[in-house]
Amino acid sequence: MDKSRVTTYLSLNQVAVNDLFWSPFMERVRTKVLPYQWKALNDKVPGAEPSYCIRNFKLAAELTHPELDYGVPRDIGFGGMVFQDSDLAKWIEAAAYSLAWHPDRDLEQTLDETIDIICNAQQEDGYLNTCYIINGLEKRFTNLKDHHELYCMGHFIEAAAAYYEAAGKRKLLDAMIRYVDCVDAHIGAEEEKLHGYPGHEIAEMALIRLYAITRDEKHLKLAKYFIDQRGQPPLYFEEETRRNGNAFYWQDSYIKYQYYQAGKPVREQTAAEGHAVRAAYLYSGMADAARLTGDQELLGVCKALYANITKKQMYITGAIGQSAYGEAFSYDYDLPNDTVYAETCAAIALAFFARRMASIEPRAEYTDVVEKTLFNSIISGMALDGESFFYVNPLEALPQASLKDRRMGHVKIERQKWFGCACCPPNLARIIASLGAYVHSANADAVYTHLYLGSEARFSLAGGNLKIKIETRYPWEGQVDISLVPERKTAFTYGLRIPSWCGSFSLKLNGSDAAYTLRDGYALLNREWQEGDKLRLSLDMPVNLMETNPHVRDNQGKAALMRGPLVYCLEEKDNGTELFKLHTGTPHEFKVNYEKELLEGVCVISFTGKREKDWQDDALYRSRAEKEYEDRELKFIPYYAWANRGGGEMRVWINR
């Protein structure tokens, strides 16, 4: 690992985002999603499935401290999924991020009161999971494989760290440190402990984040244990299943323990397998561990897994997890557009993994994926009004198939208000609310700008304080203006990502051609910077007709439209039904129009394509005859914005 290439992302407190595209999303999260989710967590959304989340914590607190009375009947039982606690943790994390860029005393008070309830549910020895506190503590740590205790702990560590960083308050952080002590007392390498690890990963990266705050070696050690114990023989999950004597859902499946990425030691894994969210969370934790410890072998594993995902198993939208069976990866080049799973959380998890890889080594192949997921398969998960959500993000939707074909029963054509398994909405909230921390990273003598968000960042380099201001209409236009304002003349390397979708670009420094070198997709300027230095990056942003590697059977003979980082799609609303009859023809000219009133403001692409004509008779088959086409004006909207004008057909890949 080239240590001089390792950088750290600027924190949310250092970057103020003011961006044409993203600020409305962030504001939507702050003003609509967070309040809406708070209502959902409190079971106050009419017509939505109850979450039971807050109720579980209040009940657990009452059971722990009988003198407390939150008005929850003590015999009511635990509600929701075994991992219900994590929804509250994700909400707290997202709310904390929003406080970092928008102070809000009422929200902070709600957080403090909620954290009081959470801490009141904590056991004497630090244990904190409402499912077991309510259902019986004697069973805790007996089903690490499927009962998500360590997953919920991981999410709460993330929440606690976020709130500590945003508001400087450590009550939840201290509670989590105690919970980790409790887990550490029961699970680990020592003879008398359980030699287990999380069934659903996230604790790995969460513990490393905790270690960054506490510098307590115990936290790093536990994270490394979870990573390296995974899949070691004798297989812990197999022993656990035997002890419990229960049926194991994946026992007879081809996925088996690889559903949990535990079929073999992680250092022997070369292809992404199993549940996609779990997998990418694990890889994120592995990347964190490799970065922190300089573990070259582990980094090599991360690189191989990253290459397998992004070169063989990732949709053009950045979505991952092709198979509804197991919400999982399937096999190389299997990328069906209609039966796809593509969970919103999985795209978020991939963004986490890619962002971490980019901090080890600034390479556009990593940051391109962060950008691709963010602009496409992540935000497609949320309606533009912030009140309904997709769990599954298809690249092709057909209303009657969703209704009547079991293979596509999971594919919805309209976003849902809330789900019983509500993992995606709060996950969306936490990534969008923390976008400021994706823009720049730096080390002592280099600064890299990864994403072009209108923003102002202030931070310190070895040579003194530095301010970087970005102004842009990205992704609708490719011009990015950057002002660098160092406190005093300072020499450092400044790197700007040149996105892979961009065929040609120009870079001007103070009005003249800038002298730069290109390395791994970053334009590097190594010079002495001074106040008043201005860069103008102009990225050509043509409409690109994209093809897929011929190994991918589902996209044979098809093309997709991209402009900049955005993938486009056809919707029934603009193009009528039976979108599968449409062809690109040979487009001579793409018209790109910014429509301010449409879908909160989007660039629309249109051109004259073809539509196959219907036959004169009602035959189902006929012998070979010339196909007949008519010209048809095709109108494409950005993929993320589909299904915001009612349900209907949608298609990303169309016939060539």
Annotation marks residue 327 as catalytic: yes
Q: Please, are residues 397 and 411 in contact by the beta-carbon 8 Å criterion?
A: yes
345 forms part of the interface with Zn ion (CB under 5 A): yes
Place of tokens 């102009």: 538
Query: 307: how many CB neighbours lie within 10 A of its CB?
Result: 14
Distance of CA 595 to the CA centre of its chain: 28
Shortest distance, CB of residue 48 to Zn ion, whole angstroms? Answer: 16
Window contacting Zn ion (CB under 5 A); options: 70-78, 245-253, 340-348, 500-508: 340-348
348 part of the interface to Zn ion, by CB under 5 A: no
Q: Which is nearer to Zn ion, 84 or 449 (CB)?
A: 84
Residue 33: how many CA atoms within 13 Å on its side-chain side?
Answer: 32
Q: Which residue, 500, 503, 493, 542, is CA-closest to 520?
A: 500
Instruction: Quote the least distance from Cβ 435 to Zn ion, whole Å.
Output: 19
- Closest separation in Å from C-beta 158 to Zn ion: 15
Return the residue of 262, 316, 424, 453 that touches Zn ion, per CB under 5 A: 424
**42 burial level (CB within 10 Å; 0-12, 13-18, 19+):** middle
**Looking at 296-415, which runs of residues are DSSP E strands?**
396-397
Task: Identify whether 423 is a catalytic site residue.
Answer: yes
510-514: long-range contacts at Cβ-Cβ below 8 A with a sequence spacing of 24 or more?
A: 510/534
Binding of Zn ion by 266 (CB under 5 A)? no
Least Å from the CB of residue 640 to Zn ion: 17
Q: Which C-beta is closer to Zn ion: that of 240 or that of 343?
A: 343
Site residues (CB under 5 A) for Zn ion, limited to 187-216: none
Nearer to Zn ion by C-beta: 187 or 340? 340
Cβ at position 96, least distance to Zn ion in Å: 20
Q: In this complex, which beta carbon is closest to Zn ion, that of residue 419 or of residue 629?
A: 419
Does 423 interact with Zn ion (rule: CB under 5 A)? yes
**Residue 4 phi/psi, 5° resolution?**
-70, -15
End-to-end CA distance of the chain: 44
Q: Compare residues 86 and 359 and give the one whose CB is closer to Zn ion.
A: 86
Count residues binding Zn ion (CB under 5 A): 4
- Measured from the CB atom, is 152 or 562 closer to Zn ion? 152
Residue range at the interface with Zn ion (CB under 5 A); choices 169-177, 420-428, 454-462, 568-576: 420-428
Give the range of 1-9, 90-98, 339-347, 408-416 binding Zn ion by CB under 5 A: 339-347
CA separation (Å) from 226 to 41, 127, 199, 241?
Answer: 30, 18, 10, 18
In sequence order, which residues have a C-beta less than 8 Å from that of residue 356 and are 6 or more positions away?
A: 205, 284, 287, 288, 291
**The two structure tokens encoding residue 650:** 């949608």
DSSP, collapsed to helix, strand or coil, labels residue 383 as coil
Minimum Å gap between C-beta 616 and Zn ion is 48
279: Cα separation from own chain's centroid: 13
Q: CA 67, CA 456: separation in Å to the nearest integer?
A: 50
Stretch that binds Zn ion, among 99-107, 423-431, 500-508, 574-582 (CB under 5 A): 423-431
- Please state, in angstroms and rounded to a whole number, the distance separating the CA atoms of residues 99 and 34: 12
**What does each C-alpha distance from 583 to 341, 560, 575 come to in angstroms?**
26, 11, 12
Judged by CB under 5 A, the chain residues 432 through 461 that form the site for Zn ion are none
**In the complex, residue closest to Zn ion by CB:** 345
CB of 61 to Zn ion, least distance (A): 27
Q: Which has the closest alpha carbon to 314: 292, 293, 332, 289?
A: 332
Question: Looking at 345, 423, 502, 603, which residue is catalytic?
Answer: 423
Closest distance of CB 423 from Zn ion, Å? 3
Residue with Cβ nearer Zn ion (200 or 632) = 200
- Block residue for tokens 């990205």: 474
89 binds Zn ion (CB under 5 A): no
CB of 2 to Zn ion, least distance (A): 35
Structure tokens at 338: 């209609």
Of 201, 327, 343, 572, the active-site residue reads: 327
Closest to Zn ion by CB, 29 or 345? 345
Q: For residues 201 and 343, which CB has a smaller minimum distance to Zn ion in the complex?
A: 343
Task: List Cα–Cα distances, 216 to 122, 149, 285, in angstroms.
Answer: 22, 22, 17
Strands 533-539 and 505-509: antiparallel
Pairing of strands 566-571, 650-651: antiparallel
Catalytic residues: 327, 423
Binding site for Zn ion (CB under 5 A): 343, 345, 423-424
